[in-house]
Amino acid sequence: MMVEKEEGGPGGISEEEAAQYDRQIRLWGLEAQKRLRASRVLLVGMKGLGAEVAKNLILAGVKGLTMLDHQQVSQEDTRAQFLIPVGSLGRNRAEASLERAQNLNPMVDVKADVGNVDSKPEEFFTQFDAVCLTCCSRDVMVKINHICHKNSIKFFAGDVFGYHGYMFADLGDHEFVEEKPKIVPKASPGVEDGPDTKKARVDPSETTMVKKRLVFCPLKEALSVDWRGEKAAAALKRTAPDYFLLQVLLKFRTDNGRDPSPQSYAEDSKLLLQIRTDVLDALGVSTSVLPDDFISFCFSEMAPVCAVVGGILGQEVVKALSQRDPPHNNFFFFDGIKGNGTVECMGPP
């Protein structure tokens, strides 16, 4: 493979990088890897999902990753958060994750920021090419999404609640390339005989790059769908219940400043049932879309669910930054009980 030396200019890739990222360059091409390697990402919230996303982006080879978290390591964090060493209780979560994160790939500039995302000024976010939020309130997500949308920064959010996890993307007006099988034009008359010679055919061994474009909506619009009316009733049947579960859990987080906790299971279960009624009534949706037993499956972060959702979230950030392959527009929901994932496009028609 022809590889430019580092001194060959800002777009070049060093031999060391070519060796490190060889499999990825073969998978998505040198241009995509160059874009990735020029990108800086902000990752907010270093719980179990944050650790998975950090690992995936650092190994993929972004230019820089800033892990931002103002919270301290709790007993619960020691279960799914593999970047935090034993004996780190009470330390800042981002700082405790830094050494192991950096050791994954010395070529990536990994930083820890102990500030609170809610108090960061708008210009803080404009130094990044992508922002990924976990553990944030609905209001904070909507506010930062607005900043990102305005400044053409790729925006992502995600969380894991027990067996359930989700991710959301707002890539604004997003252009990308997709690899498609090449259509071989029909043969000229007289070259070959037979009925099939005049038809264009798909040659799976040859591919071509097709430019495409998608327009995304902000999170606020995606969460504010109006479910009243006949059209909405038909759409409701096709919509994953996880979309409504997410609304309930975000309201719980807003009301209580935390997620449902196993330590207060009985009390939080009652709260969840009440919030379900309030949220679904306000949306104009029957409570039957979330049967009562939903409360049993949304406590604590489960490591395998973090791995799945973190894999998808990392993949989507890589796709967005490298402008390679169609992105998920705009929600991805994972249901660990059924073991399946769903992509839902929510928002204005």
Burial class (CB in 10 A: 0-12, 13-18, 19+), 337: exposed
Q: What is the mean pLDDT of each run of 10 residues along the chain (349 residues)?
A: 36 72 72 87 97 96 96 89 94 97 95 97 97 97 97 97 97 91 66 55 75 95 87 85 96 96 94 96 91 94 96 96 93 96 90
pTM over 0.75: yes
**97, 22, 112: which is closest to 64 by C-alpha?**
112
Residue 233: its pLDDT value, please? 79
Residue 6: its pLDDT value, please? 36
Angle at 318 between CA 314 and CA 319, to 5 degrees: 115
Q: Which amino acid is at 187?
A: A
Residue 199: its pLDDT value, please? 61
Task: For the chain, list the domains and their CATH numbers.
Answer: 13-172+303-344 (3.40.50.720), 174-211 (no CATH), 223-297 (no CATH)
Residue 180: its pLDDT value, please? 84
The DSSP symbol for 299 reads S
